[in-house]
Amino acid sequence: MRKFLLALLVLAVIISGCISNKELTVITKSGQVKIKVEIADTDEKRQIGLMYREKLGENEGMIFVFDQEQPVTFWMKNTLIPLDMIFVSSNGTINEIKENVQPCFYEPCILYPSKHPSKYVIEVNANFSRKNNIQIGDVLNVNNFN
């Protein structure tokens, strides 16, 4: 039993070291909004995203960082919680928000393509954008992600 608990602890430390976290700031017309995000900046991390998560903290989420600004498509396969998707151009301007996107429980899952090329996509709890008055044209401080 002791060896099992030790192995579990070692695994938890290894996994936590693989997840990068940062706090980002969205500058809105009504003030700054801070979000603690996990960073998905590799193909593997972007593919897994927030799959199988049962909850997110109130001001938590994930930022998907792409190598270049491009059209991107998301889906909610194996995602258990509704989300807002905030699409951001390479200069940090929010160019689209998909609100209250629901989990996909049956295939085929709905695809959510961006209307504009994006370098970043932030996923947060559903209705987060509305509650924090985040709108198209607001700016994400992207200095930490370039």
Q: Residue ranges of the domains in the chain? A: 21-145
* pLDDT confidence of residue 20: 72
Ranges of residues in the chain whose predicted pLDDT is under 70: 1-19, 144-146
pLDDT value of position 4: 40
112 contacts 98 by C-beta, under 8 angstroms: yes
Residue 94's alpha-carbon distances to 46, 51, 54, 128, 134, in angstroms, are 19, 24, 27, 14, 9
Per-residue pLDDT, 7: 40
pLDDT, position 142: 75
Architecture of the domain made up of 21-145: Sandwich (2.60)
What confidence score (pLDDT) does residue 143 get? Answer: 74
Q: What is the pTM of this model?
A: 0.85
